[in-house]
């Protein structure tokens, strides 16, 4: 399939300073993800989009295409919808896969499997979204939304709520531009293990993923 992977990488971040480039075990999140994606076989190519020239130089040395992003689209003040449309408008491909570098425990097989599945479901679904089932007790505005307080349910009997860890999302490029979002009206949820799909959004996530990654490397 004509799928180009878009890898958005900011030089800095708000909650974990320079999380994409700071030391993560024996590497960093950015270079680790590039090494994982190098092992995939289902993508036409990958494009790293960043305002940071150091990031782009690293990507080019590792054989990835690059997109120099207008710094305006790397600020926290810009709605993500504008970022999606802007970057998608800057490349040429029928389908795109939005791939973050902040899921360090997701290996190459996770991404290749996503493409294989999307190829089978794309006639009935307008996007594939990496997803996680959450078997916890949730309330909204003081009311339970996925369980009844009595009789108290077992956790395995809860109706799971689905969250999006943004490991990989696949859709038509024209829809990413039009919607300013990866989420369509008929999504296919690509269910992943919650540990593998952990997204680094804060220092706690960073430390957790680094610990798991180190253990995996030690075992190997």
Q: pLDDT digits over 98-112, tens only?
A: 999 999 999 999 999
Confidence band, pLDDT 50/70/90 cuts, at residue 155: confident
- Domain assignment present for 196: yes
Question: Per-residue pLDDT for 22 more than 60?
Answer: yes
Both tokens of 161, joined, read 């709520």
pLDDT tens column, 178-204: 999 999 999 999 999 999 999 999 999
130 contacts 101 by C-beta, under 8 angstroms? no
Asked whether residue 146 is domain-assigned, the answer is no
Does 220 score more than 60 pLDDT? no
Q: Which residue has the tokens 């970022």?
A: 83
Look at residue 13 in the predicted model and tell me its pLDDT.
74
Containing domain of residue 40, as a range? 3-133+164-219
Provide the pLDDT for residue 217. 77
- Can you state the angle between helices 108-121 and 29-38, rounded to 10 degrees? 60
Does residue 14 carry a pLDDT above 80?
A: no
pLDDT at 17: 80
Share of the chain above pLDDT 90, in %: 90
Q: Evaluate whether residue 157 is within a structural domain.
A: no
Which two three-digit tokens encode residue 64?
A: 């990835």
Q: What pLDDT band is residue 11 in, cutting at 50, 70 and 90?
A: confident
The rounded percent of the chain whose pLDDT value lies above 70 is 97
Q: What is the pLDDT of residue 18?
A: 85
Instruction: Find how far residue 4's CA is from the centre of its chain.
Output: 14
Q: What is the pLDDT of residue 15?
A: 64
Q: Is 150 contained in some domain?
A: no
Mean pLDDT of 104-121: 98
Q: Confirm whether 148 is domain-assigned.
A: no
Quick: pLDDT tens for 63-98. Answer: 999 999 999 999 888 999 999 999 999 999 999 999
Query: What's the pTM?
Result: 0.94
- Looking at residue 97, its pLDDT comes to 98
- Does any domain span residue 153? no
Is residue 45 in some structural domain?
A: yes
Q: How far apart are the first and last CA of the chain?
A: 33
Number of domains in the chain: 1
Q: What is the mean pLDDT of the chain?
A: 94
- CATH number assigned to the domain comprising residue 113: 3.90.550.10
**Does residue 24 lie in a domain region?**
yes
């Amino acid at each position: 399939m004509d799928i180009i992977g878009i890898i958005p990488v900011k030089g800095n971040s708000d909650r974990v300073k320079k999380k994409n480039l700071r030391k993560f075990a024996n590497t960093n999140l950015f270079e680790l993800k590039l090494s994982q994606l190098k092992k995939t076989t289902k993508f036409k190519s990958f494009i790293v989009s960043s305002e940071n020239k150091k990031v782009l130089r690293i990507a080019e040395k590792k054989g990835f295409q690059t997109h120099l992003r207008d710094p305006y689209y790397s600020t926290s003040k810009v709605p993500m919808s504008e970022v999606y449309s802007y970057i998608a408008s800057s490349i040429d491909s029928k389908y795109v896969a939005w791939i973050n570098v902040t899921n360090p425990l997701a290996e190459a097989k996770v991404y290749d499997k996503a493409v294989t599945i999307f190829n089978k479901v794309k006639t009935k679904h307008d996007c594939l979204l990496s997803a996680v089932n959450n078997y916890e007790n949730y309330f909204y505005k003081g009311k339970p939304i996925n369980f009844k307080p009595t009789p108290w349910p077992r956790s395995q009997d809860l109706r799971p709520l689905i969250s999006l860890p943004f490991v990989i999302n696949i859709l038509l490029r024209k829809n990413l531009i039009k919607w300013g979002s990866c989420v369509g009206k008929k999504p296919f949820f690509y269910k992943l293990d919650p540990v593998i799909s952990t997204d680094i959004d804060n220092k706690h996530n960073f430390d957790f993923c680094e610990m798991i990654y180190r253990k995996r490397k030690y075992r190997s």
